[in-house]
Amino acid sequence: MPARWSPIDPTAGEVELFAADLRELGKGKTPVSYVAGAEPAVSRAALYAALSGGRLPRRKTIAALLRWWIPATPVRAEPGEWEWDWVYGLRDKETAEVATRWMERHSALSEKRREWPTQRKGPVAIDEPPEQRRFIEKLRKTLETHDLIEGIMRWDGDYERWVTGVSGHSIQRYLAGTVIPEDDTINSLLALVPEEEQAAELLLELVRLAQEARRARVRSRRLARAAGSSKQL
């Protein structure tokens, strides 16, 4: 587990408690960086984000971590199988019960998530919050340091050619504050950082800053809408 995880308040909500318990489960187990290298279907950013408490991880992400952290010997996923198939193949009763509880807990939270309100209100103008400015400053410094400001190219092994991973236009939108990149995009931005340990530390920090920036924008929009509603009364 990384040495510098930002703290989580387990009392803040069910997703935060889920992430806090997941961190506890992973203590002394296979490092996230190793799991990421062994699980090509799940990005490093998604694995780190699952432990941040910012949002509920996808099924394939949580299943990947649990396959490495619950059984005594990690269970490899078979191509095309359902994410939870491995749980039903566990022979040790106690291990199977632990895995089943995690599976059911994640499924219950996913079901609640689908029931959360989905009505979207119209856009509201807000100033760029300080949290987003901190993210932009760190992102800019990182990209400039590693000469990635013009965009990211990646090798497509299937077609044996270079393709655009993240365009320079998209990067300029991130730096202008127009859009906050998703965790997987941040992972793509750091794919060319040469030192693996340095890349992992940068990824963890940028994912955390991006999540803080998203939450700050949500708060700012809520305050702006509340202020607008009070003026109409």
Question: For the chain, what is the domain count?
Answer: 2
d(CA 189, CA 165): 8
Task: Indicate whether 20 and 97 sit together in one domain.
Answer: yes
Task: Indicate whether 55 and 151 sit together in one domain.
Answer: no
Of 14-28, 29-43, 80-94, 118-132, least confident by mean pLDDT is 118-132
In three-state secondary structure terms, 37 is: helix
Task: Indicate whether 100 and 139 sit together in one domain.
Answer: no
Task: Note whether residue 151 is domain-resident.
Answer: yes
Task: Note whether residue 1 is domain-resident.
Answer: no
**pLDDT 10s digits, 176-187:** 998 898 887 888
**Residues 87-96: contacts with CB under 8 Å, at least 24 apart:** 95/70, 95/71
pLDDT at 31 (0 to 100)? 92
Q: Does residue 117 carry a pLDDT above 70?
A: no
pLDDT band at 136 (very low <50, low <70, confident <90, very high): very high
Domain that holds residue 31: 10-115
Task: Indicate whether 183 and 214 sit together in one domain.
Answer: yes
**pLDDT 10s digits, 154-166:** 666 666 666 667 7
Q: Does residue 143 carry a pLDDT above 70?
A: yes
In three-state secondary structure terms, 97 is: helix
pLDDT at 230 (0 to 100)? 59
Q: Does residue 232 carry a pLDDT above 70?
A: no
What residues contact 102, with CB distance under 8 A and at least 6 apart? 62, 66, 70
Task: Indicate whether 47 and 20 sit together in one domain.
Answer: yes
pLDDT at 105 (0 to 100)? 93
Q: Show the 3-state SS of 57-118.
A: CCHHHHHHHHHHHCCCCCCCCCCCCCCCHHHHHCCCHHHHHHHHHHHHHHHHHHHHHHHCCC
Mean pLDDT across 220-231: 75
Task: Indicate whether 89 and 43 sit together in one domain.
Answer: yes
Task: Note whether residue 2 is domain-resident.
Answer: no
- List 155's β-bridge partners, or say none: 162
Mean pLDDT across 192-216: 83
Q: What percent of the chain has pLDDT over 90?
A: 36
Tokens, residue 123: 């856009």
Q: pTM for this structure?
A: 0.58
